[in-house]
Amino acid sequence: MRQFFLGVFALLMFSGQSQAQVDEDQLGAWYMYFWTANLENSRWGFQGDIQYRNWDVIGDLEQLLLRGAVTYRPKDTNVKLALGYANITTGAFGDDSSTVNESRIYQEALLPQKVGGRLYFTHRFRYEQRFNEGQDFRTRFRYGLFLNIPLSGKEIVAKTWYLGFYNELFINGERNIGDGRRVSTFDRNRLFGSLGYAIKSNLKIQLGAMRQITNNVDKTQLQLGVFHSF
């Protein structure tokens, strides 16, 4: 019995240290570049993004994400489908310079929706197949609801300021990840608000803040994003 209580005490101490490793009060930052390219006179195209994520404002690597996809727009619809691949390098919080790698295949559907004169919604459904270093094969389901609101006029054209919002929910597929480890069904939720500016009709910039909630960490991230279409 004594050994049992000592074991429980050690486990609680270890859990508390693990959660304390990430400073939830420290502002993090994500720097992001998104691009899209549509082939001329074709329903096919490409898209991708590069994201440099930090536990702090800059320097303490949280993740480096590189992602690209082939896109297709079915005839007589405004839906865009994508099949893509991502490579993610995740760093540890603080002075620890160790990293782990993930390869990811994903499929997604984007469904734009205009409500009223100036509310531009986009529904994004994404399904991911994840190959994490040190874990068994995993899948994840994601649903994101995005909203852009122009502040002048009814469209986001060149020299237009706009507000941007989104909320995205992540749900795990497989819960067993190997070596007796399990994850919960809920993976995370991201809530975001920003101010954006359209430099050109095909080039926009957004600055905002995102609150990410997981089972272990509840942290605010500054986000600076550039959106470029060709």
Kindly give, in sequence order, each residue whose CB lies less than 8 Å from that of residue 6, ignoring residues fewer than 6 positions away: none
Residue 157: predicted pLDDT:
94
Residue 8, burial from CB neighbour count under 10 angstroms (0-12, 13-18, 19+): exposed
| Amino acid type, 200 | K
Q: Where are the domains of the chain?
A: 2-229
Residue 15: predicted pLDDT:
35
- Return the closest-CA partner of residue 126 out of 89, 94, 168, 158: 168
Residue 225: predicted pLDDT:
98
Kindly give, in sequence order, each residue whose CB lies less than 8 Å from that of residue 117, ignoring residues fewer than 6 positions away: 154
**Are 127 and 108 contacting, i.e. CB atoms less than 8 angstroms apart?**
yes
CA distance 7 to 3: 6
- Return the closest-CA partner of residue 22 out of 220, 189, 184: 220
Residue 10: predicted pLDDT:
41
Residue 60: predicted pLDDT:
93
- Where does 2-229 sit in CATH, by number? 2.40.160
Average pLDDT per 10 consecutive residues for the chain, totaling 230 residues:
42 37 90 96 96 94 97 95 98 90 98 94 98 95 98 92 98 93 96 97 97 93 97
Q: Which helix (H) or strand (E) segment is 4 a member of?
A: helix 2-20
pTM of the model: 0.86
